[in-house]
Amino acid sequence: MSHLDQIDMKLKSLGLTQYEIKTLKSLIALSISTAEEIHKQTDIPTPRIYDTIESLEKKGFVRIISGRPKRFEALNLEIAMKKFLEFKELEYQEEFQKMKAASREIVSLLNDPDYHSQLVIKPDELLEAYSSLGEMETKTIEIIEKAEKEICIFTNVFYWFNQVKSAIKEALERDVLVRVLMSVEDEASKQNAKNLVSMGARVKLITNGNVVARGTLVDGEQVVFVIWVSPVRQEKYVYRPHFSSNSGIIEIFNNNFEYLWEKGKDVV
Give the tens place of pLDDT for each residue, 85-124. 888 888 888 888 888 888 888 888 777 766 655 555 555 5
> What topology is assigned to 127-266 in CATH?
Endonuclease; Chain A (3.30.870)
- CATH fold, domain 3-78, is Arc Repressor Mutant, subunit A (1.10.10)
Q: Which helix (H) or strand (E) holds 65?
A: strand 62-65
Give per-residue pLDDT as tens, 195-236. 999 999 999 988 765 566 789 999 999 999 887 665 555 555
Distance CA 152, CA 253 (A): 10
CA-closest candidate to residue 168, choices 202, 191, 133, 210: 202
Greatest alpha-carbon pair distance for the chain in Å reads: 65
CA 226 vs CA 93, 140, 240: distances in Å: 37, 11, 6
pLDDT for 237 beyond 70: no
Residues 180/165, Cβ–Cβ less than 8 Å: no
Domain residue ranges of the chain, discontinuous segments joined by +? 3-78, 127-266
Distance CA 217, CA 67 (A): 39
> What's the pLDDT score for residue 95?
85
Provide, rounded to the nearest whole percent, the portion of the chain with pLDDT above 70: 87
Task: For 14, list phi and psi in degrees, rounded to 5.
Answer: -80, -5
Mean pLDDT of 55-79: 88
| Mean pLDDT to the nearest integer, 24-49 | 88
- pLDDT score of 120: 55
Provide long-range contacts, Cβ within 8 A and 24+ apart, for 63-69. 65/32, 69/34, 69/35, 69/36
Q: What is the pLDDT of residues 164-187, one digit of tens each?
A: 999 999 999 999 999 999 888 888
Q: What is the per-residue pLDDT for 124? A: 56
C-alpha 213: how far from chain center = 16
Residue 81 phi, psi (nearest 5): -65, -40
Q: For residue 148, what pLDDT band results from cuts at 50, 70 and 90?
A: very high
Cα 52 to Cα 45: distance, rounded to the nearest angstrom: 11
Residue 210 has a pLDDT of 59
pLDDT at res. 149: 92
Low-confidence winner among 32-46, 80-94, 143-157, 199-213 (lowest mean pLDDT): 199-213
Dihedral pair phi/psi, residue 219, rounded to 5°: 55, 20
Is-contact 215 130, C-beta < 8 A? no
